[in-house]
Amino acid sequence: MQDPFKGFNDDDNNNNGNGPQGLPLPPNYATVVNPETGNLRIAKVGFSWTMFLFHPFPTIFRADWYNLLCIVGVELALQMLFNMFVPGDQRVAATGSVELGIALLWGAIYNMMYYKHLFNLGFVPADDRSRDLLTRAHYWKPKSTD
């Protein structure tokens, strides 16, 4: 199969790695695997536009129930604080700003939350390219071998 990402941060050495069934991965996607179960997950590293635009649906599509409950809990707490401390006549004007702030928050940190939860479940980077990408993004800290 022809690599659609040729010339996009690729150096003819297949630096983008191979996904399932040999399909090429975009340069900002990492693959993690659970060595005990063989379960494989592929996700983007960096800002999550889907979470920014459609929160909390990406958590549902990824079956990421832990982060869904965390996100719903934080959003409920923020909405309660907003309703308690912002007077009623100013609430309508400030609602858009608060929603934009919440969307930016989830867009900025959701992919990191997803990977960190996977690492807590026993997942590890599947290949060197994914390990390097996750390390550079500060999602993965290599375990020191003493």
Q: What is the pLDDT of residues 57-114, one digit of tens each?
A: 999 999 999 999 999 999 999 989 988 998 888 888 888 888 999 999 999 999 999 9
Q: What is the pTM of this model?
A: 0.81
Alpha carbons 112 and 45: distance in angstroms, whole number: 7
Task: Answer whether residue 14 is part of any domain.
Answer: no
Confidence of residue 146 (pLDDT cuts 50, 70, 90): very low
In the chain, what percentage of residues exceed pLDDT 90?
59
The reply to whether 11 falls in a domain is no
Both tokens of residue 37? Answer: 């179960």
Within a domain: residue 15?
A: no
List the structure tokens of 98.
């608060």
Structural domain contains residue 45: yes
Residue 95 belongs to domain spanning: 20-136
Residue 7 belongs to a domain:
no
**Within the chain, how many helices (H) and strands (E) appear?**
5, 3
Percent of the chain with pLDDT over 70: 84
